[in-house]
């Protein structure tokens, strides 16, 4: 996967700036020049590195030349890496030179360097690298050292490093193998430091199944440690999140499933009246009948797929793609409490449906999704803004709606669905919410299509739709004692509410849409 990174390096201490002079041209004000956007991934690395002076060829394509043709600052030349199996793999595969790595398998033994008993902090004190990485403790975990003792060993070592090198930027990496409890303890003590130059990064989020706390098969070597692909994934994470980026409020999301990104296409919106038929919650036993009707009218639509509905219906999803419909995602569980409990919970659920659907149609087919209940609803009051920001950062496009049939609402029938559609499809660009999981939909669909045709609408997919986003409801900012009233008007997928009405709740690029 390509890496696109744009970072502006902030002002560092004068001692660090002296070091930069040998790696990149400064601008005379103590700052490192802005780094270029990087569009290549890590290359296959050499198996041997024989000199500490050798620049890591595994990073050569990642650290390309800047637009002004000045060499980009080589970050990993200025890292001193203290670790065990990850450090060994990084040296083996060329991400680190032997000279700027120290390998030790037990965090409790970190007080001394070598057989002469020289304190390791004495060695660190004279190292020129400004960035110290610690990735130690696998040996502790295998030796059944308790999580608390494991965390305290590393915390104590960090304190010693800061005493020896007050200017150092220290990044502590959590373990990757059967390390959940140990990582939780380590994260707690490291994030407890008030020093902004002490960071914690959980590399297990890049190489393990986050739910099962187990190393992914594609990253597992014969001996159970990280193979070359796993080492690449770790260093890709570290490179993308270098410097103090891990201090960002939402840092943990950046490390969850970093491969789950999209490149939403640029959309050209038709000026005339257009209806965008969208179907949620499928596939179901009714989806193929809906596809037959769409085929009769030669209409392309958009299907937002729910992962829990896929099993045994993979061929239906393949048919949707083959017939030219747009496929989007609509969560795996559709469980509001589970999905919106936290931003991390949302990403776990999204990962499941993404993996399920892309395994059928390929990841180049998936670039859009719909939030269960809409982008703002009563279940995501505390998490909506964070989730929306993260999904936007990953390049996915999302679509709410400005008209509906209420086919998923209790008490709805054929006539009520058609009536609701006629009353709500009043905009030049009408994004129509329907459900291919509803048994009502095949029965009313022809009448809905005929009505829209009679009103002068043509039909397109969301690939040419304007952004249809609900505005943030005012009741999101109201006090807790007002929540009960707000809940009555909050979003659900049965239709539109006060927070979803097109005049008040949607932003499209069509002036007539409000």
In a domain, residue 5? The reply is: no
CATH assignment of the domain containing 208: 3.40.50.1110
If one compares 444 and 499, the residue with the highest pLDDT of the two is 444
Q: Are residues 146 and 222 in the same domain?
A: yes
CB 273 within 8 A of CB 455: yes
Does residue 216 share a domain with residue 315? no
Q: Is residue 12, in this structure, part of any structural domain at all?
A: no
Q: How far apart are CA 164 and CA 158, in angstroms?
A: 10
In this prediction, residue 253 has a pLDDT band, given cuts at 50, 70 and 90, of confident
User: Is 452 inside any structural domain?
Assistant: yes
**Domain-ending residue, one of 227, 255, 283:** 255
Beta pairing class for 397-398 and 368-369:
parallel
Verify that 313 and 418 share a domain, yes or no: yes
* Same-domain status, 219 and 302: no
477-506: pLDDT as tens digits? 875 444 443 333 333 343 333 333 333 333
Can you give the pLDDT at residue 488?
33
When divided into structural domains, the chain yields a total of 2
pLDDT tens digits, residue range 157-182? 899 999 998 888 899 998 887 778 88
Q: Which two tokens stand for residue 73?
A: 């600052």
Same domain, 281 and 246: no
Domain shared by 133 and 190, yes or no: yes
Q: What is the DSSP string of 108-143?
A: GGTTEETTTTEEHHHHHHT---SEEEEE--HHHHHT
179 and 101 within one domain: yes
Q: What pTM did the predictor assign?
A: 0.55
In this structure, what CATH number is given to the domain that contains residue 282? Answer: 3.20.20.370
Q: Which domain holds residue 473?
A: 274-513
Q: Are residues 220 and 329 in the same domain?
A: no
Distance CA 114, CA 136 (A): 16
The three-state DSSP-derived secondary structure of 30-86 is: CCCCCCCCCCCCCCCCCCCCCCCCCCCHHHCCCCCCCCCCCCCCCHHHHEEEEECHH
- Lowest pLDDT segment from 238-252, 261-275, 340-354: 238-252
The confidence score (pLDDT) of residue 506 equals 39
Domain membership of residue 32 (yes or no) is no
Look at residues 255, 289, 312 and tell me which one is the last residue of a structural domain: 255
83 vs 495: which has the higher pLDDT: 83
Of the residues 201, 225, 255, the one at which a domain ends: 255
204 and 281 fall within a common domain:
no
Residue at 57 is within a domain: no
Residue that is written with structure tokens 């659920």 in the block? 349
Q: Stretch 179-201: mean pLDDT, rounded?
A: 88
Q: What is the 3-state secondary structure (H, E, C) of 26-38?
A: CCCCCCCCCCCCC
Confidence of residue 326 (pLDDT cuts 50, 70, 90): very high
Q: Say if residue 322's pLDDT is above 70.
A: yes
247 & 281 share domain: no
Sign of CA dihedral 88, 89, 93, 96: negative
64 is a domain residue:
no
Q: Is residue 69 part of a domain?
A: no
Residues 6+ apart with CB under 8 A from 413: 440
- Same domain flag for 146 and 181: yes
CA 486 – CA 361 distance, rounded (Å) = 40
Same domain, 91 and 211: yes
Look at residue 43 and tell me if it is in a domain.
Answer: no
């Amino acid at each position: 996967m390509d890496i696109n990174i744009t970072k502006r390096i902030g002002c560092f201490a004068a001692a660090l700036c002296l070091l930069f002079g040998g790696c990149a041209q400064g601008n005379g004000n103590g700052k490192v020049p802005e780094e270029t956007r990087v569009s290549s991934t890590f290359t296959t690395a050499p198996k041997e590195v024989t000199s500490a002076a050798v620049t890591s060829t595994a990073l050569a394509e990642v650290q390309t030349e800047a637009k002004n043709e000045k060499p980009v600052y080589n970050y990993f030349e200025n890292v001193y890496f203290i670790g065990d199996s990850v450090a060994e793999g990084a040296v083996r595969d060329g991400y680190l030179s032997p000279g700027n790595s120290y390998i030790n398998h037990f965090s409790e033994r970190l007080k001394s360097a070598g057989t002469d008993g020289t304190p390791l902090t004495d060695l660190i004190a004279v190292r020129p690298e400004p960035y110290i990485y610690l990735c130690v403790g696998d040996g502790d975990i295998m030796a059944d050292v308790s999580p608390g003792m494991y965390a305290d060993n590393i915390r104590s070592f960090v304190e010693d490093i800061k005493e020896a090198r007050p200017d150092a930027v220290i990044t502590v990496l959590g373990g990757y193998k059967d390390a959940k409890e140990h990582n939780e303890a380590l994260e707690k003590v490291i994030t407890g430091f008030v020093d902004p130059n002490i960071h914690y990064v959980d590399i297990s989020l890049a190489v393990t199944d986050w739910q099962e706390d187990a190393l992914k098969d594609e990253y597992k070597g014969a001996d159970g440690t990280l193979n070359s692909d796993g080492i690449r994934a770790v260093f890709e994470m570290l490179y993308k999140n270098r410097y103090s980026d891990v201090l960002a409020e939402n840092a943990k999301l950046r490390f969850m499933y970093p491969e789950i990104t999209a490149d939403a296409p640029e959309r050209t919106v038709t000026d005339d009246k257009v209806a965008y038929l969208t179907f949620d919650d499928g596939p179901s036993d009714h989806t193929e009948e809906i596809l037959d009707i769409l085929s009769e009218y030669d209409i392309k639509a958009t299907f937002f797929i729910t992962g829990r509905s896929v099993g045994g219906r993979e061929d239906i999803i393949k048919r949707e793609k083959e017939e030219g419909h747009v496929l989007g995602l609509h969560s795996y569980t559709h469980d509001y409490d589970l999905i919106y409990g936290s931003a991390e919970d949302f990403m776990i659920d999204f990962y499941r449906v993404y993996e399920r659907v892309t395994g059928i149609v390929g990841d180049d087919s998936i670039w859009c999704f719909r939030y269960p209940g809409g982008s703002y609803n009563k279940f995501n009051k505390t998490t909506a803004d964070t989730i929306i920001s993260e999904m936007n950062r990953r390049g996915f496009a999302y679509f709410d709606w400005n008209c509906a049939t209420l086919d998923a609402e209790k008490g709805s029938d054929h006539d009520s669905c058609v009536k609701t559609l006629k009353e709500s499809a009043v905009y030049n660009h009408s994004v129509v919410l329907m459900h291919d999981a509803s048994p009502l939909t095949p029965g009313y669909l022809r009448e809905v299509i005929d009505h829209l045709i009679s009103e002068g609408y043509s039909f397109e997919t969301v690939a040419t739709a304007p952004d249809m986003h609900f505005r943030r409801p005012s009741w999101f900012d109201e006090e807790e004692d007002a929540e009960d009233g707000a809940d009555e008007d909050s979003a659900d997928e049965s239709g539109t509410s006060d927070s979803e009405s097109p005049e008040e709740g949607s932003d499209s690029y069509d002036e007539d849409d409000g």
